[in-house]
Structure 1
Amino acid sequence: MSVLARTIDVTRRYGGVLALDRVSLEIRAGELVGLLGPNGAGKSTLINLFVGLRRPTSGTVELLGGSPSDPLVRRGIGVTPQETGLPEALRVGEVVGFVTSHYPKARPKGELLERFGLADLDRRQIGGLSGGQKRRLAVALAFAGEPRLVFLDEPTTGLDVEARRTLWDGIRAFHEDGGTVLLTSHYLEEIEALAQRVIVVAQGRVLADDTVRAVRDMVGVQRVSLTAAALPELPGVLSSERDGERTHLMTADADHLVVALVSSGTPFTGLEIRPTSLEEAFLHLTAPEPVTA
């Protein structure tokens, strides 16, 4: 697959703050990539470098075979930043028409609005939209110019479940048509549902870059869930969480833990063992290292 965007040993500083630290990665054609990291990890900085809103302090950023600072190169991408401002007095259809007029090839307005669940809002003024409707429109505009590559920074923030699913369908449809997507999200189930590849960043560095399954498996832990009135001290428990009558135990050796549980004679029901979730793997990977004396 051809490389549509890449960073080569990129560092970005804001004064004394190191936002990205010698980051090298590639986004290849046809990929749907999830970019994960805690607040301040460098996710938005990375997207801003790719789309030409920032320049690296050192290193190289390439976009569609050229430079992100070239307006002609940027015609081939679509972007939805974390925050967008749309003219309140204009109608939805007018905003879409204005944006699409800047591209030599654009997606038909009706098709674009339909894909993102906005067809019935064509004549509505922006000022009369809900926050969720404005967010859906902002995401739809990223796809207006038939882009090869789309960057979505927290695209579903503030949306209810139904609206989020509608956007997921629109993103999936673009990807299935051969489009490439890089998105960030605080909803890890969103990344798990959409992405084929996951990049985890923290403190400005890439901690993991692989498939969703491989990133989950990196931490080498399993989740053991059961219902019990009380539990004895069990070997290999990395963490535990109580959820109503259910207890969830994280362990690197589920077999050993279950043998010890049975041997203890503790009554329990509803035993369930499953691999760690992407959220659990993310928290493990990005957890601060303990300070040693």
Structure 2
Amino acid sequence: MKPTNDVVARLSGAVKRYGNLTALDGVDLVLHRGELLAVLGPNGAGKSTSISLLLGLIRPDGGRAELFGLDPQQIDARRRIGVMLQSAMLPLTLRVGELLRLVASYYPNPRPLIESAKLAGIGDLLQRPYGKLSGGQQRRVQFALALCGRPEIVFLDEPTVGMDIDARQKLWAAMLALVADGCSVVLTTHYLEEAESLAQRVVVLGKGRVLSEGSVDALRAQVPLTRIRCVTDLDPAVIATWPQVASVEHDGSHMRISTSAAENVLRRMLEADASLRELEVQRAGLAEAFTELTREENAVEQEAA
């Protein structure tokens, strides 16, 4: 489902300071109905502060934060959202089903318990005490609590941390099901493959400012990098010094190279290593684009200093 033009959440020129630290410096951000927006950035970029403003947990020092055109602290706005933060203090002795019933009771039109449990993949945990669950299981319960009120927006802050691959993929499917049903999702994650697989639009933050925003393909297009993956006897430290090589990493027995001049690098590698094999060449993914965007921001700051 493509996002509509209906804006359900917005930051307009948002500024937030903590003493001498400026956490947000004039951030503009919009969320449309029925879209999955990924907010990315390194630690300290302003992701959590942006989400806290939209949730009404803190107030901006400048600019505005809105939910459904309302102040985020108004109860009429809060009843229309669901939230899954990085940490949650929940009663350890309550059973999962009891937690779901309790949280659902705060909303005017909650989902049936069984529907919430099915979406989050926790049907087999309803009779278990929350405190007896593994970390990954607790995260799935927290996801169920975020969606049990039938929210129009779900805020997910690092939702798949601690989950195994199977649980992570099921949560991805649940997010997409919510979006297909018209719900908006704001996702913050350090797993860039997660954002690349799910997001219709990506906002990259750095040092409290928006560095870039657009579709995954649009962000890739800003960074003309190509990935080379191969098995070679060449020294990665030497390759890293070659012109236009952005990074060199080991991937098991393979070497992964990101470069803006793939043809030149490949020609040089083949000349230096006739035994080079298992060669793969792909355009850059979101991970390389993210790395390059944040690297450029740091370089600009260092030059200004």
**Shared fold by TM > 0.5?**
yes
Query: Distance between the aligned counterparts of 1:3 and 1:77, measured in 2?
Result: 14
Match for residue 114 of structure 2? 110
Task: State the Cα deviation string for residues 119-170 of structure 1 (Å, max 9, x = none).
Answer: 1111222222222211111111111111111111111111121221221121
Give yes or no for the alignment of 1:150 onto 2:145. Answer: no
Tell me which residue corresponds to 1:126: 130
TM-score, with length taken from structure 1: 0.94
Q: Which runs of 5+ in 1 are unaligned?
A: none
**Alpha-carbon distance in 2 for matches of 1:171, 1:56:** 29
Residues 160 and 263 of structure 1: is their aligned pair in 2 closer, same or farther, counting only changes over 3 Å? closer
Cα deviation code 1:194-223 (max 9, x no counterpart): 111111101111111111121122111111
Q: In the alignment, which residue of structure 1 is the partner of 2:78?
A: 74
For the residue of structure 1 that corresponds to 2:247, the secondary structure is: strand
Q: How far apart are residue 270 of structure 1 and its match?
A: 2.0
Are residues 1:41 and 2:49 paired?
no
Tell me the distance in 1 between the aligned counterparts of 2:68 and 2:153: 9
How many Å apart are 1:262 and its aligned residue? 4.4
CA distance in 2, matches of 1:97, 1:175: 24
Cα distance in 2 for residues equivalent to 1:115 and 1:64: 25
Look up the match of 1:254: 262
Whichever residue aligns with residue 180 of structure 1, its letter is S
Task: Name the CA distance, whole Å, in 1 between partners of 2:99 and 2:253.
Answer: 52
1:142 match: secondary structure: helix
| Counterparts in 2 of 1:65 and 1:226: CA distance versus 1, 3 Å | same
1:261 offset after TM fit, Å? 4.0
Structure 1 residue 55: Cα displacement: 0.6
CA-based RMSD: 1.9
Which of 289, 295, 304 is matched with 1:281 structurally?
289
- Cα deviation digits, residues 172-211 of structure 1 (max 9, x gap): 1111111110010111111112111111101111111111
Structure 1 counterpart of 2:89: 85
Q: Is contact 2:258–2:288 with CA below 8 Å preserved after alignment?
A: no
Q: Which residue of 1 aligns with 2:31?
A: 27
- Asked whether the equivalents of residues 235 and 260 of structure 1 are also in contact (C-alpha less than 8 Å), the reply is no
Count of aligned positions: 293
**Residue 206, structure 1, aligned to residue 198, structure 2:** no
Distance in 2 (CA, whole Å) between partners of 1:283 and 1:277 is 10
State TM-score, norm by structure 2.
0.90
Q: CA distance change for structure 1 residues 254 and 17 in 2, over 3 Å: closer, same or farther?
A: same
Task: Tell me which protein shows more helix as a share of its residues.
Answer: 2
Deviation larger for 210-219 or 257-266 = 257-266
Would the aligned equivalents of 2:234 and 2:273 in 1 still touch at CA under 8 Å?
no
Superposed counterparts of 1:42-57, under 5 Å: 42-57=46-61
Residues 12-38 of structure 1 deviation map (CA, whole Å, 9 limit, x = unaligned): 011111111100111111110111111
More moved, 178-187 vs 257-266? 257-266
State whether residues 235 and 256 of structure 1, in contact with CA within 8 Å, keep that contact through their aligned partners in structure 2.
no
Once residues 82 and 208 of structure 1 are traced to their aligned partners in structure 2, the CA distance between those partners, rounded to angstroms, is: 24
Shift of 1:266: 3.6
Amino acid at match of 1:182: V
Contact 2:232–2:273, Cα closer than 8 Å, also in 1: no
For 1:243 and 1:65, the matched residues in 2 are separated by 47
Contact persistence 1:36–1:198 (CA under 8 A): yes
CA distance in 2, matches of 1:141, 1:161: 21
Q: Cα deviations across residues 85-138 of structure 1 (Å, max 9, x unaligned)?
A: 111121111111111111111110001101111111112222222222111111
